[in-house]
Amino acid sequence: MNMKRWMKGISVSLMLVAAAASFGGCGSAGGGSGQQPFTIAYAPNESTEQSADARSALSADLGKALGREVKEISASDYNGIIEALRTKKADMAYLGAEGISLANQRLDGNVDVIVMKAPDGDKAKALYHSVFITRADRSDINSLQDVKGKKMAFVDPGSTSGNLIPTSMLMKAFANENLDSETLHMNEKFFSSAMFSGKHQASIQAVAKGDVDVAAVSDQILQAEINSGNVQAGDIKVIATSDPIPSEGMIIRADMDQNLRKTLTDFLLQYNNEDYFTKVIKVKGARFVEASKADYQPIIELNQLLSK
């Protein structure tokens, strides 16, 4: 895949077709006031079958606060979510830092972040990391210097910890090879094979099963998979860890009605359904804290640099 072309945007006609094909209704809640439903978009990592009830609970509670129906849509990738925001098929979306950066680019700056995920509700902890992982029994892979020529799994072109940050880390680790994003995502170039798995969970399982040698994923989703028993801690080892990354956030279009924006922000800041934060947000004890687009400026700038 040509990453530069992807980051500069697919043609609008193709994106509209992809968005229409990739969305599926995931539930609704709330009122019959005659207003158009309020729609929340989730990425594949958050829209799992196991988290359906928790997402529906938030929709029901938000529907009561808004006095209107709340619906969810899930997209097959981050690009679909961004297109839904652009075409007003979604009013709010939960995205990582790279997704927020790409949405900001695609919507010409017409996006705002209203809250972000924070462990224990502490904004100082509203950070996570990208980690490179391999099987614990791979004695030949112990650092980034060992990954050349291996089978590599990224998550999604719009993933921060599953693509943007690990791409940057590899370019720095092998600076003498003058790597670019396109080369890192092609088969039989730097890696023997390179793929996008679509979900962090899928990348983790691909490593555990030996389908790929190395993957880059969110450390928080890796821990959630271990906690849920989907992978054993002793079967996986981390060979590299990124600098801190700002946590995922809820984003809206910047031109949203101010009263609606305030109601949304107040609701999310007070929301304390533990089931939602454990199953959807993937961090037990997390809460939403106030945020703005400025919290993601370093990622926005990094994305601009890598997409040139």
Tell me which DSSP letter residue 146 carries.
G
Q: Is the dihedral of CA 283, 286, 287, 290 positive or negative?
A: negative
Beta-bridged to residue 249, according to DSSP, are 95, 116
164 and 208 Cβ atoms separated by less than 8 Å: no
30 and 58 Cβ atoms separated by less than 8 Å: no
Q: How far apart are CA 169 and CA 119, in angstroms?
A: 25
Closest CA to 156 of 232, 225, 92, 218: 218
Domains, the chain, with CATH or none: 3-124+247-306 (3.40.190.10), 127-245 (3.40.190.10)
Mean predicted lDDT score pLDDT of the chain: 89
52 and 71 Cβ atoms separated by less than 8 Å: no
Which residues, other chains included, contact 306 with Cβ-Cβ below 8 Å and sequence gap of 6+?
7, 164, 167, 168, 181
Here the tokens at position 278 are: 């454990």
Phi, psi of 306 (to 5 degrees): -75, -20
119 and 125 Cβ atoms separated by less than 8 Å: yes
Q: For 205-236, how does the pLDDT look when each residue is reduced to its tens digit (9 = 90+)?
A: 999 999 999 999 999 999 999 999 999 999 99
Q: At what angle do helices 52-66 and 258-270 cross, to 10 degrees?
A: 130
Per-residue pLDDT for the chain (308 aa), expressed as one digit of tens each? 444 444 444 333 334 334 433 444 444 444 444 689 999 999 887 878 888 999 999 999 999 999 999 999 988 888 999 999 999 999 999 999 999 999 999 999 999 999 999 999 999 999 999 999 999 999 999 999 999 999 999 999 989 999 999 999 999 999 999 999 999 999 999 999 999 999 999 999 999 999 999 999 999 999 999 999 999 999 999 999 999 999 999 999 999 999 999 999 999 999 999 999 999 998 999 999 999 999 999 999 998 888 76
246: number of CA atoms within 13 Å, CB side?
Answer: 27
pTM: 0.79
Here the tokens at position 289 are: 């804290």
Q: β-pairing, 214-218 with 111-119?
A: unpaired
Using CA atoms, how far residue 25 sits from 15, 21, 67, 172, 251, in Å, is 19, 12, 20, 41, 19
CB atoms within 10 A of CB 135: 17
Q: For 254-281, how does the pLDDT look when each residue is reduced to its tens digit (9 = 90+)?
A: 999 999 999 999 999 999 999 999 999 9
Q: How far apart are CA 125 and CA 197, in angstroms?
A: 28
